[in-house]
Amino acid sequence: MADKSIKQPENVPGKYYVDQTCVPCNDCVKEAPNLLEYSADETHIFFKNQPKNQAEEKQAKAAMAMCPVDAIGDDGD
C-alpha cells in the first residue's frame, strides 16, 4: 500500500500520488501516459497531472491496480 508520507516530490497536488517505493517498471506509464511521467533521472515515476475526467480516473485506477510494488496511492492531499 502506498504511503503518502513518502510521496515523490514531483507529484502534482491532488488525490493520486506515487511514493518513494516506486521501481520504474513502465507499466503504469503505458496505462496512464497523460497522468504519469518518469523523473528526469528515470529512477521513479510521478503524477504530472491529476485525472480531469472519468476516462483519466479509470486510467489512474488501472495504473494503481497493476503497480507491482503498490507505490501508487489515491488518498493524497
- DSSP string for 1-47: ---GGGB-TTPPSSS-EEBTT----SHHHHH-TTTEEE-TTSS-EEE
Q: Are strands 72-73 and 17-18 parallel, antiparallel or unpaired?
A: antiparallel
Res 77: pLDDT: 61
C-alpha grid cell, residue 51: 485525472
pLDDT (tens place) for every residue of the chain, 77 residues total: 899 999 999 999 999 999 999 998 889 999 999 999 999 999 999 999 999 999 999 999 999 999 999 999 998 66
C-alpha grid cell, residue 54: 472519468
Q: What is the dihedral of CA 26, 32, 36, 42, to 10 degrees?
A: 20
Q: Is the pTM of this model over 0.75?
A: yes
